[in-house]
Each structure stands twice: as structure tokens, then as C-alpha cells.
Amino acid sequence: MQVSGTIRIVSSNPLNLANTLPSGQSFRWKLCRSHTWIGVIDNHVISLKQNSPSLISYTAEPCASSEAIKNRLIDYFRLESPPLRELYRQWGQSTKTNHAENHTADINADFKKKAQKLDGLRLLRQDPYECTFCFICSQNNHTKRISSMVETLCNVYGSFIATVDGVDYYAFPKIDQLLRATEPELRGLGFGYRSKYIVESAKIVKENGGETWLRLQKLVPTDVAKLALLSLPGIGHKVADCIALFSMERLDVVPVDTHVWKIAMRYLPKRKKNSSTYQYIADFFKEKFGPYCGWAHTILFAAELKTFQTVMDEDSKVNKSKTKAKKTANL
């Protein structure tokens, strides 16, 4: 059974699907016909369309309750969180910190400029079990290939949900389904060296209590949750932080990959650049953006992605045109 409904978005707490869904947090959303995003949440195929900044329509199947889907989407997009508009304003304010000496630029001012192009980019609240295995696939990988791998895992090992617009959709495989995967089989499906990580991690998760074990990590201190994640093959500090941020309510965690390292290098004190460590960079973001620094980091990270380069380059093109016009006028 298919259900449908709408969600009204207030201006103080915006949600922009086009900025949020391709931002590198989740790998199960695709932009399809008529500006509609189709993805899978839990055991439902969800179609979302942004009709205006204040109105999003949705359909879901199979489901018996439109209200249940609406509540799940409110939870998934954190629409109950502190007003995002106010957070954007705070993140865009220049601050003085212990790292303020010899800055080459102001990261908060840069955030303010970039955030104008990425309004309403929300931090998703994902399932810790699914998020963990999706990010095991992310090692040394790009978004398009990660999405393909995750889709393969679901199609081969997951349970069928529904057919929408001629496409079959499958749920993310439960741990007992994932345990059927073998390393040779996964290698044949294109997972490469990650095949071993998936197989071995699935066994460890099962031994510790299955999906529930990973979901319970939301309730323990951050360092304990990270130790649990780091015990899984293929998960280092960056991947563990991604999982903690996107699915375990650790909004003050900052995953540091090459994109984030390059961002930090623009703003860290010159004398610290050569000695910068993972934790030093994470602490720098926390000092500059506060308790929701993981969310602010995600917006700056998205601004570096090819997906958003056309939008982000618009200002530079306009500024170049203005500079050229001024020079011509002065001749």
C-alpha cells in the first residue's frame, strides 16, 4: 500500500533536499524524474519532492500510516533540532580561539559565504547498523562508487520492498543476511579489498549481539562507542567519526579526511600547519563552531564536493566579471 502526505518547513528551520541528500552522508538517494528524490529508509521506499522552500511532499510504500512516515522523516532530517537558521548565523560569526594567532583567513567568515549557497543542509539521523557497513564501503572511494556498492549489497543480500517506476528496491540486509556473503563472492561483485572487511565485520557484529549492539552505541560515551567501531576491520578514526556523527548523535565529532585537512590548512596558524594532527584539526573545528561543529563541518565538506562546484563557483565568476568591468572602466 502506498501512502502520501506533506511536511511544512518553517523558515527558521529550513530543509533543502538538493543540498542535503547528495552531501556525502547517505548513499541510498537518487534524483529521479520530476525533481523527485527516491531512497530507502528502514523498510520503506520513500519519494520526496521539494515543492517550495516551505513544503515537501512524500510518498512511501509499503506502509499503512502516512503519519508514521511523516514522523520518521521529521526524525530522519532532525526537524525537531534547534533552529538551523540560528546555527548558520552562529557558525558564520568570527570567533577568537586559542588557535587564532597568525590565521591566514577566517573560517567563520568563509563559512558564512559558502553557507549562502548551501542553505538548509541538514545532518541526517541514520540507522547505526546500516551506516556502519555503508561507511566500510567508503574507504578510499568516491560517492558514486560507494552508492553502487551499497545498492549491490541490498540487491544481492537484502529483502525486496517494492517496485517503483519500474525499479526494484531492497532493504539493507539484516546481519543474518549479510553473513551469507563470502569474500570471493563480494570480490566478484566489485568490492575489492573491502570484501574481507565486510565479511569479518559482519561476524564480529553478530558475535556481539547483531544490529542491536551497534544501535546501543548511541547510549554510551563517545570514546566507548568509537572503541566499538574501531574494533571492526576496515574502520579507522575517520570512518568511525563519520558513523558516530551521522548515526550515533555525536554532533560534536569532526571526521578529518583529505577534504577537511585541506580546509583546515587554509585557516590554521602558520606555525602549526606542519605539525597538524587529526585531533588538533578536530579540536580546531570544535573551538570555531561549538557543540554542533560536526554539522558545520558537513556543510564545509559538501562545499568541496564536485556535486556542488557549479553552485559554489557562481560567486567567483560574478566577482571576476565585476573586477574585469572595473578595470575596463578605469582604462
Residues marked active site are found at: 238
Pairing between strand 167-170 and 44-52? unpaired
How far is residue 42's CA from residue 149's CA, in Å, rounded to a whole number?
18
How far is residue 68's CA from residue 51's CA, in Å, rounded to a whole number?
21
Cβ burial 103-140 (10 Å sphere, 16+ → b, else e): beeebbebbbebbebbebbbbbbbbbbbbbbbbbbbbe
Residues in the chain: 331
Count of alpha carbons within 13 Å of 310, Cβ hemisphere only?
A: 2
**What residues contact 238, with CB distance under 8 A and at least 6 apart?**
255, 256, 257, 278
Concatenating the DSSP letter of every residue in 197-232 gives HHHHHHHHHHHTTTHHHHHGGGGS-HHHHHHHHHTS
